Amino acid sequence: MKMCWRFSLHLLFWFVATFVADAAEISVAREGKTYHVITAKYEAIIADDGCLTNLLIGGLEFFKSGIGSSRGSYLHQGEPLKLPTMEQPAENVVVAKSDRATIRYEFGADSMTWLVENNTAEPMKFFIIFDPEASPEAAEIRGAVLSHEGSKSTWFRDKARLEIDGSTRFWGPWRGCMMWDAALAPHEKRRITFKIGTASEVEAAKMGLTTTPVVEEVEQDLTLLSPKDFQVFQRLSRFRGRIIISGRLKLECDTVMARLSGKSLEGQRLPDEWCPIPLEKQTRSFYAELPTPAGGWYVLQVRAMKDNQVVAKAVVDKFGVGEVFVGAGQSNSTNSGEERTTQTSGMVSSFSGAHWQLADDPQPGVHDKTQQGSFWPTFGDAMYVRFRVPIGVAATGHGGTSVYAWKPGGELHNWMTTRICQLGPRGFRAVLWHQGEADVGGKPEDYVLLLTSIIRASTVAAGWQFPWFVARVSYLSPERPASETTRAPQKKLWNLGVALEGPDTDTLTGSYRNNEGKGIHFNRKGLVAHGKMWADKVGDYLYKVLAEETK
């Protein structure tokens, strides 16, 4: 009996310790009339109508609100039901109710339990509308028409994993989305559980989510770390910039020399003379920052000398000093266009985070790994025609993402700020933000607050101030070509001075869209028009900035 008592006491201590540890990992905060849930594994938003409208796992949105009557997750009985009476009976519990229904949300560190109750004498449905980028387990049914009966299902978005138990079926597509539903009998209580995690290697392979192994560079006698072929350094003024020359050696040497050649924006030839680069002999590394005129492409030659003999050498055939831009947002900022496009000037390059290349589609470095067309080649060509310097772009977006998915601290925000920090202080001109379709039907004030926090956090992470251009974006279909729920807050950000005015791409309808004008993405004509619209807005701003510098 004594042993049993001790065991029970130990079990009680373990339970209390575990509960306290789990509770410390969960934050459920009321923000106005909504609740914001944050754990290390996921984030969720419960709106003022009691619906859990957003679920982000690893920074990626799984639910879709604003499509038809969708509230992300919601009860339906002739119409979507509102549960406006909300309370928080425990730190990790929120209860939403009306006279017709009740939902009790309980949040764990990597799980959720929802108790959904039909308080009426009539049948009721509970729906979850999944984001188009979220897919059920079987890869072969992705995008297919299906209806699957059963209680359990597993959903993936990239490697984020969501396992649900408690459904009647899932089916779709409905307006491009998959629908999950639970049919509730009169006065039925339904327990729905969610387990949140990461896809296993087997699951990732089945869903086609495995990544190509990184091929390590073969170490050379002289390895140049900077510049790389097709690298663009951001100019500091209209005619002036600087470059970084750095690298390492396998062999001992006495000196490292470099020579630049090419013609600048002003039409002058670079000196084309050998000059010494500071060498750290103990580590066999070298580094220098050199004032360099705007222009390019330039050629750099580097050689290592020992006893007046060349022991190693390297060359970069094309790099320049010009204008660099970071792109972020959802699918129309990535490679989701109907056809791939190519730059035609030979003066536009893309940065993946690991290498530079000519900016032909698909753009490297996007988070969603899309492989189709983009507006970036046309944008770069148009900017080159106007300013006659090399243009660099770094696209970081992910399709189907709401503004919530880009919140500071999330995977997408970190992905973007990593690229920003790789380019370095004053290493690019501006961020170009093209996003908003996923937030149609949301609260305009939330969009303003969230994007403002994203913008400010990005400059804090970078350690310097840079402008953001925000496009006016809300187009979903010919039937829903524009929505003020996103257009108004985007314009408000301009008016407040938080962001600069980007293009109004909602004007690109009909013949500019894919799927014979019915799609949300752009066809080739639309991608070209999209790129030129961005170049007009950014180019007009840049012209003024450069004019001010010369006064």
Backbone phi, psi, residue 203, to 5°: -65, -45
DSSP secondary structure string for all residues of 214-278: PPPPPPPSEEEEES-TTEEEEPSSSSEEEEEEEEEESS--SEEEEEEESBBTTSPBP----EEE-
DSSP secondary structure string for all residues of 64-119: -BSSTT-BSEEEESSSBPP--EEEEEETTEEEEE-SSEEEEEEE-SSEEEEEEEE-
Residues 6+ apart with CB under 8 A from 260: 270, 271, 272, 290, 292, 298, 299, 300
pLDDT tens per residue, range 450-479: 999 999 999 999 999 999 999 999 999 999
What the chain holds in terms of domains, given with CATH numbers, is: 25-206 (2.70.98.10), 222-319 (2.60.40.10), 322-549 (3.40.50.1110)
SS percent in the chain: helix, strand, coil, step 5: 25, 40, 35
Label residue 282 by pLDDT band (50, 70, 90).
confident
Label residue 264 by pLDDT band (50, 70, 90).
very high
CB atoms within 10 A of CB 267: 7
pLDDT score of 142: 39
> How many whole angstroms separate alpha carbon 223 and alpha carbon 248?
5
Q: Roughly what angle, to the nearest 10 degrees, separates helices 411-423 and 444-462? A: 40
Sequence letter at residue 442: G
pLDDT tens per residue, range 32-45: 888 999 888 999 99
Kindly state the average pLDDT of the residues 95-114: 96
Does the structure show a pLDDT above 90 at 486? Answer: yes
pLDDT score of 245: 94
Show the 3-state SS of 21-51: HHHHCCEEEEECCEEEEECCCEEEEECCCCC
Sequence letter at residue 520: I
pLDDT tens per residue, range 106-135: 999 999 999 999 999 999 999 999 987 888
Sequence letter at residue 20: V
> How many whole angstroms separate alpha carbon 226 and alpha carbon 27?
44
Does the structure show a pLDDT above 80 at 212? Answer: no
Label residue 261 by pLDDT band (50, 70, 90).
very high
Does the structure show a pLDDT above 80 at 238? Answer: yes
Label residue 200 by pLDDT band (50, 70, 90).
confident
> How many whole angstroms separate alpha carbon 131 and alpha carbon 346?
38
CB atoms within 10 A of CB 113: 16
Of 451, 467, 458, 452, which Cα lies nearest the Cα of 542? 467
pLDDT score of 177: 80
Yes or no: say if 219 and 267 are a contact pair by the CB < 8 Å rule.
Answer: no
Whole-number Cα distances in Å, 283 to 36, 59, 63, 257: 50, 40, 51, 17
pLDDT score of 502: 97
Label residue 144 by pLDDT band (50, 70, 90).
very low
Does the structure show a pLDDT above 60 at 139? Answer: no
Yes or no: say if 102 and 95 are a contact pair by the CB < 8 Å rule.
Answer: yes
pLDDT tens per residue, range 381-394: 999 999 999 999 99
pLDDT score of 171: 81
Yes or no: say if 444 and 457 are a contact pair by the CB < 8 Å rule.
Answer: no
In 298-308, which positions are buried (b, 16+ CB within 10 angstroms) versus exposed (e)?
bbbbbbbbeee
pLDDT tens per residue, range 152-183: 999 998 889 999 999 988 887 677 688 899 99
Label residue 209 by pLDDT band (50, 70, 90).
low
- State the distance between the two ends of the chain, measured CA to CA, in whole angstroms: 91
Yes or no: say if 434 and 329 are a contact pair by the CB < 8 Å rule.
Answer: yes
pLDDT tens per residue, range 175-195: 768 889 999 999 999 999 999
Q: Locate 453 and state its tokens.
A: 């926090």
pLDDT score of 203: 77
pLDDT tens per residue, range 9-68: 444 443 444 444 444 478 898 878 889 998 889 999 999 999 999 999 987 889 988 777
pLDDT tens per residue, range 515-525: 999 999 999 99
pLDDT score of 259: 95
Backbone phi, psi, residue 13, to 5°: -60, -45
Does the pTM of the predicted model rise above 0.75?
A: no
Per-chain mean pLDDT for the chain? 88
Kindly state the average pLDDT of the residues 362-378: 94
Backbone phi, psi, residue 9, to 5°: -65, -45
pLDDT score of 19: 41
Yes or no: say if 131 and 61 are a contact pair by the CB < 8 Å rule.
Answer: yes
